[in-house]
Structure formats: C-alpha cells, structure tokens
Amino acid sequence: MADKVTIADVARHAKVSRQTVSNVLNSPEVVREETRLRVQEAVQALGYRVSQAARQMRTGRSMLIASRIEPAQDDGINGFVFDRYLHGLTESAARAGYRVLLYTADDHDAELATFDDLLGVHEPDAFVLTSTDYGDPRTTRLLELGIPFVTFGRPWGVPPERRYPWVDVDGAAGTALATRYLLDAGHRRIGFLGWPGGSGVGDDRRAGWARALADAGAGPAEIAELDHRTDDGVPQGEAAAHALIDAGRPATALVCVSDSLALGALQAGRRIPVIGFDDTPVARAVGLTSVRQPITEVAASCVSILVRLLDGDARGRGAAGREREQNVGGRQDAGSGGSASPLREAPPEQVLHQPTLVRRQSA
C-alpha cells in the first residue's frame, strides 16, 4: 500500500524543507507553531513514520532496550514473576518510545559474549539486568563499556565506589509485613522457612522476619531456634515445616521465603498459618496468603531510570560521538547560560519498592 513515505514526501506535502520536518519531530519548540501544525498534519495525512534504521545511522540510537529472558526454571515459580516483569518492561518502554529486544544466555560468560554481539549488530541503547548476584561480571563489563543499564535487584556485595542504578523490592519489608500480621493475630512463635545463607535475596527476606520478631521481644536464641534453612522446593518445604512444627517448642505459624516452600509447609498437613512469597498462581490456586512484589512498578522504574540516562546522555554511540563517556558521573548541563555549568556528580538512581500482603485462607 503506502510505498514507504519519507521525510522528503512530508516536506513536499507541507511545503517546507526537510530540515524543518526533522525539527518538528525532534525539537518541536524551535519551529513556529503555524508551520509545526502544518507539518504535523502532513505527517498524519501521509502516515509518515520515521525510519528507525536511517535515524540510527545518524544518531546512533536504536530505541532498543535489551533484556535477557530467563529459562523457566524447574520450580518455575520464579518464572511467573519474571513474566510479569517482562510484560511491564515492554509496556513501559513502549510508552517512552522504546522497544524491548530479547536475548538468552546460559551463564554469565555467554551473556558477556552476547553483549558484544548485540552491541555490534543491533546496538541496543541500554540493558536491563536481572538476577544479579555476588561479584556479577555483567555490571562491571557494562560499566566499562559505558553502556547505560539498570538492574532489577540490588548490587549485593558490590563496593560502594562501583555503584550503578538499580531497582528492587524490599524483601525484608515484605517478610516483616507477613510476620507482623501473624504477630497481630496473636502468634509468638513464628518460624521462618528460608534458603541457605549466602543468597542476597534470601538473607534479606530472613532479616525482615528476624527484625519483626525482635521488635516483638523475641531474643536471639529464640530467633535462631525458629530459623530453618533449606533449598527451594515443595518437598523441602514439607520436611522443613515438620521439623519446625514437631520441635520441642513448636512454631505456631510460618513465614516462608518462597511460595514453593510455603506450599510444602501447607502440605505438611498441620493447620497452622503459612505465608508465602511472590504471590504466584500456585498461591492463588491453593489459597495461600503471600507477599506480592509490585513488579509492574519495578519495570516502570527501570524504564524511567534508563530514559533519564539516555536523554541526559546526548552522545549517541554510533555515528558522530567518537568519545564514549562513562555513564556514572557524566556531565549534566543544567541548561544554564553560555558558560559551562559546573560538573555535577549525580549519584545513580536507586529505587526500592514496597511489597504488599495478599491475604487468603492460609493465614
């Protein structure tokens, strides 16, 4: 049908120069209103769309945000959260004029290689990283390359001088919420089914439970007694629940680090209250009360951080901008007059979202 309408067609139709059309598109405020309207009308009439490929050649910006899609795990429960994240990311990105480009990688090394490939070929403007862990090589690499990125997940164990922007959910606040809920219901001996120490996320969630218990007057010894650690999984949850419930001084309620463990605890058969984490379909299916992460908001924060980074960053990696500045501590001209504005060392943005408790029959 419409045979690829170019900017020249629009210019002809609106009786202006190509440059003016470009201006209307990129910096509308510089064009007189009358002209601008005429051009916009022509754009509408002709159904003009900027060719991303051509634009990218000039500006070096692809309007692409790359994100890894993780394989659905065997426990799969995490997959649900990830799915919501990806959907939210795609939606928020679209609102800001960006699209999400997917890639896979089996491990960190493969992902580093994919970075090179992607950056060479499709040249995404930014990355969103998920499942960051201790000493994650990916952030270091992107920092070196000067490619804007955010992580969904805090930089566990990263030294303060090597900071980067991140978005996360306050897991400790979530378990604290759950614990306080049980405390309010009259429980005192509230056990915690958690993962083995060493996982940032798991330790964080345990800390929230421990804090709430301590706030309620529990001593360190009692807390240690109620703290059970095991690998993730339903059978593991069942076994762990038995251990805590059948103890000399049994737990009367349980907070769990995941819905998998919580489901196992539920299957242990005792009728004590159980609260899970992530509000997965499983939870909904079996009526499990669970802590819900505001994933859509997380995704939106990721995008808005990236957009701010990309807009404040006029360089344009591809064509013109030869020099590549570091992302952190980049210049930020505040629009002051002629003289150079003083450099401002803006700290990377960090957003911590608060989870909520979804109450169902299990507690």
Task: Give contact residues for DNA (rule: CB under 7 A).
Answer: 4, 6-8, 16-23, 25-26, 30-35, 48-51, 54-55, 57-59, 316, 318-320
Say how far apart CA 246 and CA 268 lie, in whole Å.
11
CB under 8 A: which stretch of 37-45, 47-55, 128-136, 210-218 binds a copy of itself?
47-55
**Closest separation between CB of residue 62 and a copy of itself, Å?**
7
Say how far apart CA 261 and CA 236 lie, in whole Å.
7
User: Exposed, middle or buried, 113 (CB in 10 Å: 0-12/13-18/19+)?
Assistant: exposed
Under rule CB under 8 A, which residues in 50-79 are in contact with a copy of itself?
Answer: 50-54, 56-57, 62-64, 69-72, 74-77, 79
- Given candidates 9, 12, 18, 87, which one binds a copy of itself under the rule CB under 8 A? 87
Distance (Å) of CA 158 to CA 29, 41, 154, 161, 240: 43, 52, 9, 8, 32
**Residue number, 63 or 255, with CB nearest to DNA:** 63
**Closest separation between CB of residue 138 and a copy of itself, Å?**
17
Under rule CB under 8 A, which residues in 2-41 are in contact with a copy of itself?
Answer: 3-4
**Closest separation between CB of residue 221 and a copy of itself, Å?**
34
Q: Distance between alpha carbon 338 and the CA centroid of its chain, in Å?
A: 38
**Closest separation between CB of residue 27 and DNA, Å?**
8
Structure tokens at 122: 């499709």
- Given candidates 30, 102, 185, 314, which one binds a copy of itself under the rule CB under 8 A? 102
User: Exposed, middle or buried, 289 (CB in 10 Å: 0-12/13-18/19+)?
Assistant: buried
Helix (H) or strand (E) holding 166: strand 166-169
In the block, tokens 């001084």 appear at 249
Residues 186-225, one symbol each (x = binds a copy of itself by CB under 8 A, - = not), give ----------------------------------------
